[in-house]
Chain A
Amino acid sequence: MTCTEYQSVLPFIIESGGSATEEDHLKTCKVCSDLVADLHYIAEAAKLLVPMEEPSGRVWDGIQKSLEREGLARPAGTRKGLQGFHAVLWIFAFAAVVQFVSW
């Protein structure tokens, strides 16, 4: 088996292992064994890559704005503001009813 022949099937046997002929070539050929060692090394090194990067605050801002635009959420702080506003409305309404009844 030549290097060209071995390397043409390598994508399909690198994980599972090849036939006896292919394995024999790998054992005796420095070029192909170095290549396979490198490819395994790259695959192993990639597994060790951990999530290092953190998204900027722009991402969360975008999420908030999109949800607000779609009506699924409203800007922070408006809840308390609206609760206060509603309370004032209720007081006014109650006062109006009391005044109307007493009149």
Chain B
Amino acid sequence: MEFPTTAAQNRAILPISEAGRSKKPILTQAKKILASGISEAEAIERAKQGDGECFEVLYGFHKRRVYSLCLRMTGNTAEAEDLTQEAFLQLYRKIATFRGESAFSTWLHRLAVNVVLMQLRKKGLSEVSLQESLEPQEEDGPKRDIASRDNVLAGSVDRVNLERAIESLPPGYRIIFVLHDVEGYEHNEIAEMMGCSIGNSKSQLHKARMKLRDLLRTSRAEKAIKR
């Protein structure tokens, strides 16, 4: 299977197989390619040349990471699936423009982040959250009482609790936290993507961490009571 790399090139319409269906045990062409031990670099080059099966191979390589990013940023399964779909559709359309100046995963990741942010802007969520976060809130203030009453969190938080706590963050906090602490973007990159200042990014990240601290402490206290 092949697919066109640019509009000017031959627009032969070719079929896409069902290799992307993760639960179907059909050995498709894409899976055969994968089984042949093709490297990601080869798959990228062949996909750029119009090899559709290699596009499916790339989907297989990256679907988990892209979907996890979308899920963590939105906190919603259906929305994350829609955004994953949109990210790979954009990849299909833009892969010919990938020049290898950065790692493919970095490039695809950035593309996916932009897809999510664009969707959130459409919904107006991030703007609302950013405005909210700029307003001083009582909960954002120093918490001497809690800090002096309990021990530090270290060693008491597991992955599931942390994932749940991130999911329950307000959208604006969640996005910055995921981008910085989970995905490893720098504040200047986040500021550029979000259209805010670096200071705002730092401030919002701090509030997100403070909120997570509260959530994790509350969760720990509730568990202690149940025991």
Contacts and interface: CB of A to CB of B under 8 A. Distances in A.
Interface of A: 3-4, 7, 10-12, 14, 30-32, 34-35, 37-39, 41-43, 45-64, 66-68, 71-79
B142 A3 contact: yes
B184 A47 contact: yes
A67 B69 CA distance: 23
Contact of A57 (B17, B22, B92): B22
B67 A55 contact: yes
Interface in B57-105: 59, 63-65, 67-69, 71-72, 80-82, 84-85, 88-89, 92
27 contacts: A11-B202, A11-B205, A12-B203, A30-B148, A34-B151, A35-B142, A35-B143, A38-B152, A41-B153, A42-B153, A42-B209, A42-B212, A45-B162, A46-B177, A47-B181, A47-B182, A52-B68, A54-B64, A55-B84, A56-B81, A59-B88, A63-B59, A63-B89, A73-B13, A73-B15, A76-B15, A78-B15
Contacts of B202: 11-12
Contacts of B72: 49
Contacts of A42: 153, 157, 162, 181, 209, 212-213, 216
